A and B are shown apart, each in its own frame.
Chain A
Amino acid sequence: MSQAGRAVAPALVARGITKRFPGVVANDSVNFDVARGEVHTLLGENGAGKSTLASVLCGLYRPEEGQLLRNGAEIRLNSPRDGLSQGIAMVHQHFRLVDRFTVAENVVLGHKSLSFVLDNAAIEERVASITQEFGLPLDPRAVVGELSAGERQRVEIVKALYQGAELLLLDEPTALLAPPEVEKLFITVRAMTHAGKSVVFVSHKLGEVVDISDRITVMRAGKVTGSVRRGDADVRRLAELMVGREINIVPRRAKSPTSDVLLSISQVHLEREGAEILTDINLEGRAGEIVGVSGVAGNGQRDLAEVVAGLRMPQRGNVTVCGVPTSRAGALGARRAGLAYVPEDRLGTGLAPSLSMVDNLVLTRKRGFIVDRKSALRESEGFIRQLEIKTPGPLTPTRKLSGGNAQKVLLARELFAVSGARVLIVCSPTRGLDVGAVEAVHALLDEARDAGKAILMISEDLDEVMTLADRVMVLYRGRITLEQAGIDADLDRIGRAMAGLAS
């Protein structure tokens, strides 16, 4: 390559990157590049493969296929350390800091050319000069454990810069930040690109990335679905690229008109450590319908499920299950009132992994001193046949079952074995399952609806919500920002509401 060609070569090019994990292709021949002084955003939903790509770019993951070119020359990265020696650093969503260390100690930890005896004064001075140059207000002597999320992120950025990073990958950098901190972060990002550094911004927040990005590349299901330049960035089009246009769904809706309100949530407020997690949630679940609650992960869905399940006590507001107030009754009280709960974490929270299917069924039965395993065994065998659960037998520990089969066991218990449960909460019921299992789980939920249960389905999988829900709601930052009948559900509007854009 000529000298001139080298001069204009992008800072980093990724060609045909394929990265597989057991059971899933996280990146499917992805192409991506970033120029010097550019902010290039990777946009996509959770599980779209953005973080995987970023991990490949920084050397954390080795791709099965594809190549990386740094300033026009091919490079091989076997570890993040290799990435760092190429000037590539990643700031992870979950910070990798030592809480008990000071800012300066964290910044120099693992730095190659550090003297045996640490010259704290010199280190602190250098850290301070970096924080000033890039607008990252930080006290080098502050203990990291006492800093806010935004400050910790600054520590990570300073650390990367201290180690000589020229290309920074920021993985969901705004996920933990309050709006004013996001503003500060953007100032830093601009200062970095101004100094000729490149920034790859990984995000699922459509609204904010439009401002900061020079280019936006959208990923979905491990593939790049589109790429737009600054100025051409049309939020509507990006939302379409993100959510995916073609969804061939055969919707299943309630077959009989619904009337009885079995689940009622009114004016629920939940706070944790002073931060508002849920704000003024009002929701009704009627017999024979599925209410789908959608949203980007971390917007309060899980907390909502836990409030209804009696695992969390809201500061204000009421939850009633089959007419019985349960918001102060605890998990057992909620169950007694007629609630069944399928948590997202099916092995661990839902099922006891080391116990057999039989024992897991016994767990939620009426509490007597002596357990009746005989009838539970018969019941298990019935479920295995009926639901086509693939297991060596009803006495096999549930952890040995595949995700789909474990989910069937859990659904069987919550839907059929719990006597009298008329309200069901299901969280991400098909996450991580293969197509066949997804279909089976959906059929079970549909059947339960027809049997007159009120189902609250919390799912990030929009297709799932669109397929099953009779009513669709979107949670954004702990508020219900959209409510539509399932039949009228409009993918565009849902996508925008999920991204926090006013509809």
Chain B
Amino acid sequence: MNSNIWLLTFADAISIATTLILASLGAILTERSGVINLGVEGMLLMGAVTGFVVADSSGNLWLALLVSVLVGVVLSAVHAALTIGLRANQIVSGLAMVIFGTGLSQFIGKPVEGLPRPVIIRPLNFGALSDIPILGPVVFGHDLFTYLTWLLAAGLSFYLHRTRPGLLLRATGDAPATVDAQGGSVARIRWMHVIAGGALMSFAGAWYMFARAAAWSQAATTNGIGWIALALVVFASWRPLRAIGGAVLFGFTLQVPFTLQAEQISILPPTIVAMFPYLVTLAVLVALSTPRARRLLGAPKLLGQPFVRDER
């Protein structure tokens, strides 16, 4: 009985990890190009709320997902224009994205606040496979997008390490001057990956809305998952496949307070336990601010620095 509840917690962690993986894959793509986008939380919220509103009026899940991806594209294009085009400070622009996304999503979501989800992403039906002990709920208890997300992580890993554009992307984050000297366009590579990353981030928000959240509420929908995703990028050393393991771990810590509460286990007050993932996130983000830590963790070397061709 007791082990069963922990198993379910783990299965739940894998499910919630989907949104973390998607968001951190988006951040990995963005940061590998040398641009940091701290606006993940804002992107998630905007993806979630626009998806909800579109689904509410159309009843069409696919249209809702498409619109929220487009919203991510537009928002990240703004970030790209500010940071790549105008060479604005990436941290400031990213934080502005968070504030903007939070405020605008609240405004858009006002009329639908508290309404039940118009459409729901449900786990796939694997028939008898789902009844296998342990393996059933852990492996065969998820929806289509969870499996696609795992495939995407594998695909991006291949893209980064085994393809020509992936090679250029990695070089752009590490040594943009080298790419420039070879006739590659640093700005174009950065634009493309910031936008692709933004699309993934807001898709992560939309998935969370339809698969995990009970209803739209600005305060409770994403719960700071965007910030956790940023920490996860560091945990994963900017490698897509490693993001999966880290996401499950973070997902588990997000679920543990609920399980503790349900089981009435009181080693620590559940509110304290619930702080844990955020404390880790805070610690990781603080650690990331020192150049030495960034180098050791394998951050793109010139992450956060605008590229200006040096023409003497």
Write the residues of chain A forming the contact surface with B, with a CB cutoff of 8 angstroms.
21, 79-81, 96-101, 105, 108-110, 114-118, 120
Contact = CB atoms under 8 A, between A and B. Distances in A.
Given A115-B164, A116-B165, A118-B162, A110 B174 contact: no
Contacts of A115: 164
Contact of A109 (B162, B167, B298, B301): B167
Nearest to A119: B162
Contacts of B301: 99-100
B96 interface: no
Given A96-B175, A118-B162, A80 B181 contact: yes
B183 A109 contact: no
Given A21-B312, A98-B171, A100-B174, A110 B182 contact: yes
A101 B171 contact: yes
B49 to A, nearest CB: 37
A81 B185 CA distance: 12
Contacts of A101: 167, 170-171, 174
A469 B312 CA distance: 32
A118 B163 contact: yes
B58 interface: no
Given A21-B312, A80-B183, A100-B301, A108 B167 contact: yes
Contacts of A118: 162-164, 167
Interface in B157-173: 162-165, 167-168, 170-171
B184 A98 contact: no
A115 B184 CA distance: 16
Given A99-B175, A109-B167, A118-B167, 16 more contacts: A80-B181, A81-B182, A81-B183, A98-B171, A99-B301, A100-B170, A100-B298, A100-B301, A101-B170, A109-B171, A110-B179, A110-B183, A110-B184, A116-B164, A117-B163, A118-B164
B223 interface: no
The 6 closest A-B pairs by CB, nearest first: A110-B182, A81-B183, A96-B178, A98-B175, A114-B164, A98-B174
A109 B165 contact: no
B177 interface: yes
Contacts of A117: 162-164
Contacts, number: 57
Instruction: Give the one of A101, A109, A120 with max B CB within 10 A.
Output: A109
A419 B194 CA distance: 55
Contacts of A120: 162
Given A96-B177, A109-B168, A79 B183 contact: yes
A100 B302 CA distance: 12
B69 to A, nearest CB: 24
Interface string B278-312: 00000000000000000000100100000000001
Nearest to A94: B177
Contacts of B170: 98, 100-101
Contacts of A116: 163-165
Given A96-B181, A110-B182, A105 B162 contact: no
B167 A105 contact: yes
A108 B168 CA distance: 10
B179 A109 contact: yes
Nearest to A90: B181
Contacts of B165: 116
14 contacts: A79-B183, A80-B181, A81-B183, A96-B175, A97-B178, A98-B174, A100-B301, A109-B171, A110-B183, A114-B164, A115-B164, A117-B164, A118-B163, A118-B167
B178 A109 contact: yes
Contacts of B184: 110
Nearest to B174: A98
Residue of B168, B181, B184 contacting most chain A CB atoms (<10 Å):
B181
Contact of A97 (B164, B175, B183): B175
Contacts of A99: 174-175, 301
